Amino acid sequence: MELHLDPVLPAWALAAFLATFAAGVAVAARELAIEGGRRAALHLLALEALALVLASVPLLRPRLDLEVVTQVPPRVLALVDASGSMGEAAPGPAPSQTRLERARALVEALGRSTGAAELEALAFSEGPLLGLAEARAAGGTDLEAALRAALERRGEAAALVLLSDGRANRGADPTAAALEAARLGVPVHCVAFGTDERAPGGGLRGLRLVVAREVLVDNRVPVHAQFRATGLAGRELVARLAVDGQAAGETVVRPAGEDAILTVRMDVVLAQEGEHELELSLGDGATGEAGPAVLQGRVLAAARRARVAIVEGTLRWEYKFLRRAVEEAPELGSRSYRLFLKDGSTPVPSVDELARYHVVVLGELPRETIPEGWLEALAERVARGTGLLLLGGAGSLGPGGYADTPLAALSPLVLSPLDERLDGEWQAEPTPAGERFFSEAFGLPVESVAATWRRLPPLDGRVTVSGVKPGAEVLLAGPAGDPVVAAHRYGRGRVVAVTADTTWRWRFAPRTEGELHLRYWHALLRWLADRERLATGSVVVRVDQARMRGADPLDAWVAAVGPEGAPLEGAGVRLVLEGPGGLRVETEAAPAGREHHARVLPPEGGFPPGRYLLRARVGVVEAGTEVEVGTDELGFEVLDPDDETADPTPRHDTLRAIARASGGVYTHEGRPGPVFGALAALAAAPGGRARRIEPVDLWDHPAVLVAFLALAGAAWALRRSYGMP
């Protein structure tokens, strides 16, 4: 309680008034003392002094401030995000409503359910706080400034409720403001608004399943799957792989961000031949709230057998007996026979068809009837692993006009336009390398191979060549040591060239030696197919985020997996990044554990917003030649920092961090129960004590007037009793 004076007159005027009044009282008291004695004078002096005091009250205007303490209900301050992204009409219970409209409806529901608690609602974007009723969805989002402004004007607020999509693209990290709220004892309860319209199924969407088109039975097959996970940062997700409807394994992954690209790898061993259906699903195994997202694919499991395409230009004996050898070789499996006649009535396998075969046998073909680009495509297939068998004849190799074509680069023998076909019988002789090679094929000791070969019928005619390429091995030679059968590696593929075209004669040898003709062709075809090595692996490029900020560096990983599921040793990985405005960046990826990694730094000013494509090319060096193992590509988006609507998906990680740092709860607009529960508990708790000052004006109180009149009347009566005026 405090007494305050607020005089209406200046101090000097008030003093003059009181002095004049006091002088009059003193004169009257002196006269009364003469007439009525000292006692009467004192009575008059007391009465008129009190009257003087009461008369001065209206001039002094005294005010008494009283402190009043009352119990008040808890107060809650609701902060509603009114930035541009809150204008999105995302799918929901009422698709026509925007996020801001749904937030207003939730605030009204909170106000009705908080009981004794008081709820005040304010809106924010990137400027000062404003009333919720006047808010319009526009501008950026400054969560940190909004929280600090709310804390400054919170008054006796016991809690804050933040309704936002969490996409703070302005200001500082809001976590610091949340920690300040915790220090003040004010929890911030966060409600996330919005869903990812591009990712139905609980925030999970399957992007692609990557698996080799064909694998070998009993080989470990790596299966890669990529999913897009939105709003599930840190959530435990379970990936399950099924083969032909039967469970084949599962693993657990956790998204690293709110809009993450998850790359899941699982291995499976296929024990049965044939085509198999693969299904890889990803979902929230604990609650079932997310997913599952499902990806499907097919893979062919083949035995260690090869498919052979024989491309021949004439129905000659060499072709007929080679075809019979292929038919009688169980390890060569499914076969296709192509006969390319000189009139062009039967076309050679198309460029796409070449990929179906593990070995291509090329006989006598008129060069002028081969489609343009076909030999180049064949060379590319061989570099990737297809085997190639070149048969001699008057219309093949050098005599066929192939010395200046891509076929010359493929051949282990040096071809020349001057090469020709020579007639006459001659006996083939195995070289030391040939003795070792055919020893296993014939099931004979190495020292017996040459003698066995001499018992075979002689051959008639052969094609001359201009030499043997470095690195090639001659397996059979002619009378003067000239090459008859030579082999080498080209990229990942293997090539055999045979200059003779009458090996069918060996089939007419005595029974035991006649079988060597089949074994001879089987050995060459098995070596060309090289089935173990040709079991394909896979190449997968990945980035962690489907959308990224232009100021952030790009981290890219590439998994280059070999046939056995292990990382390719010695693989070279090159990345090409293409973006808006002709942006192109090339870089090499370095080994990093089981993958290769590269970081691309943004240019000055950051990566421009828009769509980007990241391409990966993986190659290995074999036999001195770089061979492309595989390629892959992946798209992602760089956001415009000034355009909130470019990426309206909610940032659950930001809102979770605010709630965790301040001691509040976090939930989503579709499940607001935790916030209702927190406010209900707050309303049930004892309220606070509010202190207020209640002023009481004394100068205009009726009692003052009554007292003044009573005292003045008593003084007048005393004066009259003594005959004084």
pLDDT, tens only, 361-376: 888 887 877 888 889 9
Rounded mean pLDDT, 161-176: 88
Q: Report whether 704 contacts 40 (CB < 8 A).
A: no
Judged against a pLDDT cut of 60, whether residue 259 lies above it is answered with yes
Confidence tier at 197 by pLDDT (50, 70, 90)? very low
Alpha-carbon radius of gyration of the chain = 49
Look at the block and give the residue holding tokens 């693209």: 169
Read off the pLDDT band of 661 (50, 70, 90).
very high
What does pTM read for this prediction? 0.49
Q: Please give the pLDDT value at position 94.
A: 40
Residue with tokens 């990942």: 492
Q: Does the structure show a pLDDT above 80 at 405?
A: yes
Helices (H), 114-142: none
User: What's the confidence (pLDDT) of residue 47?
Assistant: 66
157-164/75-81 β-pairing? parallel
The tens digit of pLDDT for each residue in 675-707 reads: 888 888 877 666 544 455 677 666 566 766 666
Phi, psi of 686, deg, nearest 5: -55, 140
Give residue 17's pLDDT: 66
Mean predicted confidence (pLDDT) in 480-500? 90
Q: What is the mean pLDDT of residues 344-356?
A: 71
> What single-letter DSSP state applies at residue 43?
H
Decide if 49 contacts 714 (C-beta within 8 A): no
Residue predicted with more confidence, 269 or 537? 269
Better-scored residue on pLDDT, 467 or 513: 467
Contact 333, 356 (CB under 8 A): no
Cis amide bond preceding 10, omega within 30 = no
Q: What is the pLDDT of residue 651?
A: 83
In this model, does residue 541 exceed pLDDT 60?
yes
Query: Which of 722, 631, 520 minimizes the C-alpha distance to 39?
Result: 722
Whose CA is closest to 62, among 695, 707, 697, 694? 697
Q: Which of 122-136, 321-335, 537-551 shows the highest mean pLDDT?
A: 122-136
Which region among 148-157, 420-429, 698-707 has the lowest average model confidence (pLDDT)? 698-707
Residues 658-665: what's their mean pLDDT?
A: 93
Instruction: Report the percent of the chain where pLDDT is more than 90.
Output: 19
In angstroms, the CA 115 to CA 198 distance is 39
Q: What is the pLDDT of residue 34?
A: 55
- CA distances (Å), 57 to each of 10, 19, 25, 514, in order? 14, 15, 18, 142
- Give 200's pLDDT tier (boundaries 50, 70, 90): very low
Residue range 233-255, pLDDT digits in tens: 788 899 999 999 999 999 999 88
Q: In what order do the strands lie in the sheet with 157-164?
A: 130-131, 118-124, 75-81, 157-164, 188-192, 666-668
Look at strands 429-430 and 473-477 and give their pairing: antiparallel
Which residue would you say has higher pLDDT here, 608 or 366? 608
Closest CA to 276 of 217, 334, 227, 332: 217
pLDDT per residue over 8-20, tens digit each?
A: 667 666 676 667 6
Q: Residue 618 in contact with residue 629, Cβ under 8 Å?
A: yes
42-59 confidence digits (pLDDT tens): 666 666 666 666 666 666
Tokens of 202: 């609980």
Mean pLDDT to the nearest integer, 287-303? 75
Average pLDDT of the residues of the chain:
79
Rounded-to-integer distance, Cα 484 and Cα 428, Å: 8
Q: What is the mean pLDDT of the segment spanning 91-102?
A: 66
Between 6 and 470, where is the model more confident?
Answer: 470
Lowest-confidence pick of 214-228, 390-404, 486-500: 214-228
**Hey, how many other C-beta atoms are within 10 angstroms of the C-beta on 580?**
12
**Residues 498 and 411: beta-carbon distance below 8 Å:** no
pLDDT at site 93? 41
- Quick one: pLDDT at residue 412? 93
Q: How many CB atoms lie within 10 A of CB 459?
A: 22
pLDDT over threshold 80, residue 179: yes
Query: Can you tell me the distance from the alpha carbon of 154 to that of 108, in angstroms, rounded to the nearest whole number?
Result: 19
Residue 144 pLDDT level (bands cut at 50, 70, 90): very high
What's the whole-number mean pLDDT along residues 169-180? Answer: 89
pLDDT at 184: 87
pLDDT band at 7 (very low <50, low <70, confident <90, very high): low
pLDDT at 535 over 70: no
Q: What is the DSSP string of 151-203?
A: HHT-TTEEEEEEEE-----SSS-THHHHHHHHHTT--EEEEE----TT-TTTS
Q: What contacts 368, CB < 8 A, 6 or more positions away?
A: none
In this predicted structure, what is the pLDDT of residue 473? 92
What is the spatial order of strands in the sheet that 204-210 belongs to? 204-210, 220-230, 259-269
CB 602 within 8 A of CB 551: yes
**Would the pLDDT of 5 be above 50?**
yes
486, 472 Cβ separation under 8 angstroms: yes
Q: Which of 559, 556, 575, 579 is nearest to 567 (CA)?
A: 559
Please tell me the distance from the alpha carbon of residue 193 to that of residue 101, in angstroms, as a whole number: 11
Residue 344: is its pLDDT beyond 60?
A: no
Confidence of residue 616 (pLDDT cuts 50, 70, 90): very high
Phi-psi region of 184 (alpha: psi -120 to 50; beta: other; left: phi over 0): alpha
Spatial distance between the Cα atoms of 45 and 346, rounded to a whole number of angstroms: 144
For residues 303 and 333, is the Cβ–Cβ distance under 8 A? Answer: yes
DSSP 8-state assignment for residue 236: -
Query: Which pLDDT tens digit goes with each residue over 552-589?
Result: 899 999 988 775 566 777 788 999 999 998 999 999 99
pLDDT recorded at residue 384: 78
Tell me the C-alpha distance between 147 and 168, whole Å. 12
Model confidence at 399: pLDDT above 90: no
Band of the pLDDT at 496, cuts 50, 70, 90?
A: very high
